[in-house]
Structure 1
């Protein structure tokens, strides 16, 4: 039986929610309808393109391949034969004649979003300048594609490299300060305000460039950072011997000063950057920058660069699986790409779904204060009628999800998970259905979901927070050390599972080795450090 308050709220249900903004720019992690790639005269790039195509073809989405139409047109039959001979099919593959020179369609290609044109919310293309040390043909690609697809074209009067543009989808955009160098006649505040206006965001942050390891003159943000969802950011981790180590850590401290659209600090995951083939790391701007953050998120799949380095590649896979539960993680060889200052994200661009539909949700994860009925809130935004929303949840070892409605009340929708016990672990995801589209959050559902639990441990706040102590190596194999904060000469260390089970405890001092191998298997754990006056909780990944 529905509770009386739910019946009352049903009477004030909002039957239609449309995007209130004139412009919406989706994040990397939002639903996509297609993929854009380019065909080149360099076989190593085309082999990487084939890997991308074969990796995503099970999604049955359109794949658009740009081929050079001038001065000597490429033969699409030869391209098709190359694809087939290397294990791909040409099903859902479409060819677009275009004029371009560069390999990195992400950097010079279309910046796509949703805008109001002729009273309707529809997809459009932003055309920014790309003439700063780059071929003019590349600069014209956004206009060429807008003309080919008959999409509206809007201008951003700035010189921009889209590999240097990330956003969280709701509140904030990010770039390195390279964008300031590309627009020397404008002030930082002018550039910031322009980007905020064009992306319809509240803030734009300029992070420090990595002058000694950022792969060429681009100094692009996606070389060391990727936004994984509305609340989560992935950042590379460098050895502390590299000249850009301090700069990268400074960027992290900058990000830790901000809150996301849900007024919480961003969750930041770290992934160790891999060395070059000879085992060393670049220390110059023109060196080879190997990275895992230059990854392509395409609906429920993530294509992650790989380099034939078993330890680094396996750790990267583990980090992505932890940060993006349920997503299909596909490793794609990028060894031939990084010497040219790019990787998988640089080689591709995604096309947003034709009908705008989004679920904005402050996810509930980890240990929570116990309550028998948990209310889950969200907002749906769409360019047309939102017909229904549902929450799917399962408890403990249940294999089947229970479906319960999300009530489309204003200003915030809600659903309720009822009758929970103190020792329950809950897995859930959300679904929205509009007149023409369906989406879930997370996009990896039902394989992926958000997980929370109740446990007595939650009463002592077993949640990761900003720490001044560190455990290293992290990820590690079980032989760890601690770099304690200035206020911690000695601390009590307790090791927990994510479900709050205590595995091991001991006293530790600064830089003391601790062997936890017999207590752990590959996975994610929480380490709590306590002194009389201070407590810190650190996430530890074991590979």
Structure 2
């Protein structure tokens, strides 16, 4: 019999939180109201644009298509006929005349967020400089859109490229060091402080630029990295024979040294970068940079580049499905895009919802120490009244979710999953409802959820513990190495299935290769590292 929630809850005031912030710049993974694309004079790029449109039209979100109005105005009737001929519909399609020359609206387009203007929280557009080797018409796009939509326009007095800007939505932003080259009159600390201030973040990290992996002079971060949620980052994996291998692995070490807004290391997934058409990899800056990280996340869907390479495309799909459970993974051929130094994310920009509503939650996933009642905590933020929040969960093979309230107390809201047994596996997600908006976390719910369980591996005391050792490559093909924590020069390694079955054990040292191919097939496993003083559990993906 489930225990009732303690009566003390009746004595707690239920706070309805409204946003109290100067600026919020959503991450790629947060809820979107619409999509912006720009039409091009090159048919091969427009074909990819149409594929993107057809893949996201099922969401019924508005899609704004910018078209050039000079020097020779584009014909919207002609564009419409082309869209229809390629399988798109004209439902929710809006045309917007604009002055521009470039192909990649993500790079020169608007940076959209929420800010307080005239004492109201509303959407606004940041306008940064985009004149560093780029056409002046492209630099004016943020101002053109702000004027067209009647949104507030604010300035960032820096030269910036949207493909080189990522953030985790809560604590930290990321760019390559190219942003320093684009602003030579300012010091690194000045640029860092300005980005932190404008994005309202605690930190900004400048990662090593990849100068021998293609992509042209842009050296953009989204060519090898994508932030998937508040706690998760996806990074390209290159063969160790390539000149930029050391640079990208240095970036991995930098990211592994950081903690996210919840005080834990980022969960880092790797995806093998694909070769170019002749089977080789680019080794110069001006070569073609094929990538899977230059992807579009829009609500519960991820649009991923593909290249007609069955093994690489399949692995990329597998990695995204593992890193983002329940999301619909669509793939669009980007073979014509990457030779021109862009891909799917470059072609698009998402529009945030008119009503700000967010759930901030420290995920409970993987093996956990047994508790019959598990408390799930979160914070809601909104621009208006948060009316209620709900915790949905199901246990083991249940197909229906149980709905239980989340109590809107401060400093953290919480709900309780009660009456669990030691052998239970739990799937859950969160929902928030404000006066005008609804959202879930993850956005892929109910198909996607967060999963945790109790088993033999979880006998380790994990409540406030996080790993300082790492296994790489992860995902991998069965030959793995370990970067051990400072306290682990030598460790006992045990490989388990998710159900706790021991498959293999051995001793490992730092950077020692371990071949586990004969013990595994494609799937997810747990690696347990032990010394006399320390124990850690790491999730390993085999493709």
Which secondary structure does the structure 2 equivalent of 1:526 belong to? strand
Give deviations 1:68-126, integer Å, cap 9, x for gaps.
Answer: 01111111111111111111111111100001000000000000000111211110100
How many Å separate the matches in 2 of 1:416 and 1:510? Answer: 41
Instruction: Give 3-state SS (helix, strand or coil) of 1:315's partner.
Output: helix
Q: 1:55-66 alignment to 2 at 5 Å?
A: 55-66=55-66
Name the CA distance, whole Å, in 2 between partners of 1:487 and 1:113: 42
Deviations 1:161-197 (A, max 9, x none): 0111111101111111111111111111111111111
Change (3 A) 1:142 1:275: same
**Secondary structure at 1:179's aligned position in 2?**
helix
The equivalent of 1:32 in structure 2 is 32
Q: Deviation string for 1:449-482 (max 9, x for gaps)?
A: 0111111221236999998987676544557688
The answer to whether the 8 A contact 1:326-1:444 is kept is yes
The farther-off stretch of 250-259 and 476-485 is: 476-485
Equivalent position SS for 1:5: coil
The 3 A distance-change label for structure 1 pair 310 and 115 is same
- Larger deviation, residues 398-407 vs 178-187: 178-187
Distance 1:8 1:130, change over 3 A: same
Indicate the larger mover: 405-414 or 484-493: 484-493
Change (3 A) 1:391 1:472: closer
- Cα distance 1:66–1:384, how it changes in 2: closer, same or farther (>3 A)? same
Q: Quote how far apart the aligned CAs of 1:312 are.
A: 1.1
Q: Which residue does 1:479 correspond to in 2? A: 479
Change (3 A) 1:531 1:189: closer
Work out whether residues 464 and 538 of structure 1, in 8 Å CA contact, stay in contact via their aligned partners in 2: no
Contact 2:368–2:462 (CA under 8 A) maintained in structure 1: no
8 Å contact kept, 2:366–2:452: yes
CA, structure 1 residues 30+483, in 2 after alignment: closer, same or farther (shift >3 Å)? closer
Residue 300 of structure 1 deviates from its aligned partner by: 0.3
CA separation of 1:59/1:180 partners in 2, compared to 1, >3 Å: closer, same or farther? same
Partner of 1:497: 497
Q: 1:482 to 1:229 in 2, by over 3 A?
A: closer
Q: How many residues align?
A: 543
Moved more, 503-512 or 65-74: 503-512
- Pairing of 1:391-470 with structure 2 (within 5 A): 391-460=391-460
Cα drift, residue 497 of structure 1: 1.9
Q: Distance in 2 between matches of 1:510 and 1:33?
A: 47
Q: CA 1:349 to 1:257, structure 2 compared with 1: closer, same or farther past 3 Å? A: same
- CA shift at 1:321, angstroms? 0.8
8 Å contact kept, 1:29–1:297: yes
Please give the alpha-carbon distance, in whole angstroms, between the structure 2 residues aligned to 1:373 and 1:235: 36
Against the structure 1 CA distance between its residues 166 and 508, is the aligned structure 2 distance closer, same or farther, given a 3 Å change threshold? closer
Q: Distance in 2 between matches of 1:455 and 1:50?
A: 47
| Structure 1 pair 237–119 and aligned structure 2 pair: CA distance change class (3 A) | same
Deviation of residue 542 (structure 1)?
2.4
Q: Which moved more, 1:205-214 or 1:469-478?
A: 469-478
Judge conservation of contact 1:503–1:519 (CA < 8 Å) in 2. yes
Contact between 1:315 and 1:475, CA under 8 Å: does it hold in 2? no
1:10-32 residue CA offsets vs partner (Å, 9 max, x unmatched): 44434421111111110000000
More displaced stretch, 408-417 vs 464-473: 464-473
Q: Does structure 2 retain, via aligned residues, the 8 Å contact 1:302–1:327?
A: yes
Contact 2:222 2:293 in 1 (8 A): yes
Cα displacement (A) at 1:447 = 0.5
After superposition, the Cα gap between the structure-2 partners of 1:158 and 1:476, relative to the gap in structure 1 and judged at 3 Å, is closer
Cα distance in 1 between the residues matched to 2:284 and 2:142: 32
Structure 1 residue runs without a partner (length 5+) = none
SS of the counterpart of 1:342? coil
Is the 8 Å Cα contact of residues 369 and 463 (structure 2) preserved in structure 1?
A: no
* Aligned-CA RMSD value: 2.7
The CA deviation string for residues 282-306 of structure 1, in whole angstroms up to 9 with x for no partner, is 1111111111111100000001111
Does the 8 Å contact 2:478/2:515 carry over to 1?
Answer: yes
Q: Deviations over 1:480-511 (max 9, x none)?
A: 68899999998754321234332344677999
1:119-518 equivalence runs, <5 A = 119-460=119-460, 474-478=474-478, 493-505=493-505
Q: Is this contact kept in 2: 1:214–1:223, CA < 8 A? A: no
Q: TM-score, normalised by structure 1?
A: 0.94
TM superposition score normalised by structure 2: 0.94
Task: Output one character per residue of 1:363-395: Cα deviation in whole Å (capped at 9) or x when no partner.
Answer: 111111111111111000000000000000001
Q: Which moved more, 1:405-414 or 1:450-459?
A: 450-459
Q: Is the 8 A contact 1:494 1:505 kept in 2?
A: yes
What SS does the corresponding residue of 2:6 show, helix, strand or coil? helix
Shift of residue 40, structure 1, vs aligned partner = 0.6
How has the CA–CA distance of structure 1 residues 434 and 473 changed in structure 2, closer, same or farther, with 3 Å as cutoff? closer
Change (3 A) 1:420 1:339: same
Shift of residue 261, structure 1, vs aligned partner: 0.8
Structure 1 residues 103-112 or 306-315, which shifts more?
A: 306-315
**In structure 2, do the counterparts of structure 1 residues 511 and 181 end up closer, same or farther at CA, with 3 Å as the change threshold?**
closer
Contact 2:265 2:467 (C-alpha < 8 Å) held by counterparts: no
Query: Partners of 2:239 and 2:24 in 1: how far apart?
Result: 38
Cα distance, 1:252–1:212 mapped onto 2, change above 3 Å = same
Deviation at 1:211, TM superposition (A): 1.1
Distance 1:303 1:454 in 2: 34
2: distance between equivalents of 1:19 and 1:94?
Answer: 31
Query: Structure 1 pair 78/194, CA: closer, same or farther in 2 (3 Å)?
Result: same
